[in-house]
Amino acid sequence: MNIASWLEQSARSYPALSAAATGTRVVATYGQLAERAARLAGALREQFGLKPGERVAIVAKNSHHYVELLYGIWHAGLAAVPANAKLHGAELGYILDHSGARVCFVSPGIDSVIAPHAPHSLERLIAIGGAEYQALFTADAIAVVPRAADDLAWLFYTSGTTGRPKGAMLTHRVLAAASQAYAMEVDSVSPGDAILHAAPMSHGSGLYIMAHVARLGVQVVPESGGFEPEEVFALIDAWPRASMFAAPTMIKRLVSCPAECDLANIRTLIWGGAPMYLEDALAALDRFGPRLAQIYGQGESPMTITTLSKEDIADRGHPRWRERLGSAGKPYASVEVVVADSADRPLAAGETGEILCHGEVVMPGYWCNEEASRTALRGGWLHTGDVGVFDQEGYLHLKDRSKDLIISGGSNIYPREVEEVLLSHAQVREVSVIGRPDREWGEAVVAYVVGEAKAAELDALCLARIARFKRPKDYVFVDSLPKNNYGKILKTELRAMDARKTGTP
């Protein structure tokens, strides 16, 4: 069950249909995309000597090349390791080392970021679009390499509470189940429908590639390679029945953008990665009409735990419409979700506990991390670390994140990772990092510091060690941090203190 066969089947039946575009320009038909994937697979197997199951990394900004890379890797029977192109070189070096990737494809310029941190196991660092890259597509095409449903397809690195990311193993079965759930319950796809990849293809947006390949959709990447509201509106006008995955902050920017587009061309705008303020969801619905959907998931159950449908979001006449709009929706048909107590016993509606799930969309474990796998999947259920409650109608409401995860602009940031960097400064005695509610970003990273270090020094330290988006937006210097009788820092009390200080809710 190699998921690459979806592209092969689409190309065999409809070789002339558009498959990928940059802006308004079609750059590949299904026949061309499938041939390039087959030739790239031949190069990876024959020229590089990679064997089925080995890992190939992609550290790249959005481009149409992302699709041929993913499918070329899978066609060859290999596993893809897409990584956030915004990460620091040291963070990318860890992912490359931990995954054991022998080959890494990078956007031009990122090779110089990785090179000082590249592990010995990495044999080739290839710039996408360059001469070496283009030469790979002169290799002889090979047949799709058979893979089992439970073989690794995508190694999805998530932020780690200990400062080291964990690789969630997404198998061919997981990707197939998640893709089918998307097409069935979130956003039905017909031939020629477009998906706009303005959010990172290494994460949420990229996970919707497969459903569109299976249903003969068009992968459209903005000319800018990223998210610019005016460009998104122009692309919606150019591509009828277009969908897009976005973080809530992106949706909010679209709402406030003065540009216009033909709303009838929007198939679905899907938000996820963080909850949306109710008033922001209302504003989006007022502007875009019944074309919004919400998803809740994690890398360990990719984009697929619960979903709030377009119908529920648009059903203003329902007596509990506002409550539903503030929820994370209902579980997908392909996953069972419960709210459980500390002993993993399911709780009744109205009772708050940890969100657990299991099903074919859940990872089988973390790469080379048996202890973390046992903890996360104990009892056969994925323990999300998120706290929530089901209402009487079966809608899940998120309450908190027990692992102190900060979600800023749709990106996951774990406080301890930032804390470890700050504590390496000689004049920092203690530090605690929290998320402060932020109207634009959802949450802003804030560091409470005990010590004599200067904010500028700490900022420079973070910029040298971790990705820019993870560094604190504010440093608050205090004489001491709130602690319990055992000396543990009380982040709940710290958040309350910060709310009083800033006047945030």
Return the minimum-mean-pLDDT range out of 148-162, 191-205, 250-264, 386-400: 148-162
Sign of CA dihedral 81, 83, 85, 89: negative
Q: In the prediction, which pLDDT does 163 show?
A: 57
| Cβ 335 vs Cβ 305: under 8 Å | yes
Q: In the prediction, which pLDDT does 216 show?
A: 98
Mean pLDDT confidence for 189-206: 96
Q: Final residue of a domain: which of 343, 361, 390?
A: 390
The label of the residue with tokens 């409401």 reads 397
Dihedral pair phi/psi, residue 393, rounded to 5°: -95, 0
Residue 487 inside a domain? The answer is yes
Residue 305 inside a domain? The answer is yes
Share of the chain above pLDDT 90, in %: 85
CATH of the domain at 336: 3.40.50.12780
Residue 11: pLDDT over 80? yes
Same domain, 206 and 280: yes
User: What is the C-alpha separation between 140 and 133, in angstroms, rounded?
Assistant: 15
Same domain, 365 and 325: yes
Same domain, 270 and 349: yes
Residue 229 inside a domain? The answer is yes
Q: What are 243-298's pLDDT values in tens digits? A: 999 988 899 899 999 999 999 999 999 999 777 778 889 999 999 999 999 999 99
Q: In the prediction, which pLDDT does 402 show?
A: 64
Share of the chain above pLDDT 70, in %: 97
CATH of the domain at 481: 3.30.300.30
Mean pLDDT confidence for 436-444: 90
Same domain, 379 and 486: no
Residue 395 inside a domain? The answer is no
Same domain, 336 and 469: no
Q: In the prediction, which pLDDT does 84 show?
A: 92
Same domain, 380 and 416: no
Is the pTM above the cut of 0.85? yes
Q: Final residue of a domain: which of 360, 390, 420?
A: 390
Tell me if residue 269 falls in helix, strand or coil.
strand
State the pLDDT confidence band at 399, using cuts at 50, 70 and 90.
confident
The label of the residue with tokens 């080291």 reads 164
| Cβ 409 vs Cβ 249: under 8 Å | yes
Residue 160: pLDDT over 60? no
Q: In the prediction, which pLDDT does 169 show?
A: 98
Q: Final residue of a domain: which of 335, 356, 390?
A: 390
Mean pLDDT confidence for 301-322: 96
Q: How far is CA 227 from the centre of its chain?
A: 15
Choice between 252 and 176, residue whose per-residue pLDDT is larger: 176
The pair of structure tokens assigned to 298 is 């994690």
Residue 231: pLDDT over 60? yes
Residue 299: pLDDT over 60? yes
State the pLDDT confidence band at 131, using cuts at 50, 70 and 90.
very high
Residue 322: pLDDT over 70? yes
Residue 162: pLDDT over 50? no
**What does 2-27 look like in DSSP terms, one character per residue?**
-TTHHHHHHHHH-TTSEEEEETTEEE
Q: In the prediction, which pLDDT does 63 show?
A: 97
Return the minimum-mean-pLDDT range out of 171-180, 214-223, 427-436: 427-436
User: What is the C-alpha separation between 67 and 195, in angstroms, rounded?
Assistant: 12
Mean pLDDT of the chain: 94
Residue 399 inside a domain? The answer is no
Q: What are 84-114's pLDDT values in tens digits? A: 998 999 999 999 999 999 999 999 999 999 9
Q: In the prediction, which pLDDT does 501 show?
A: 86
What range does the domain containing 357 cover? Answer: 5-390
Same domain, 415 and 365: no
Residue 436 inside a domain? The answer is yes
Tell me if residue 458 falls in helix, strand or coil.
helix
| Cβ 257 vs Cβ 230: under 8 Å | yes
Q: In the prediction, which pLDDT does 401 show?
A: 66
Number of domains in the chain: 2
Q: In the prediction, which pLDDT does 350 show?
A: 96
H or E element, residue 295: strand 292-298
Residue 485: pLDDT over 60? no
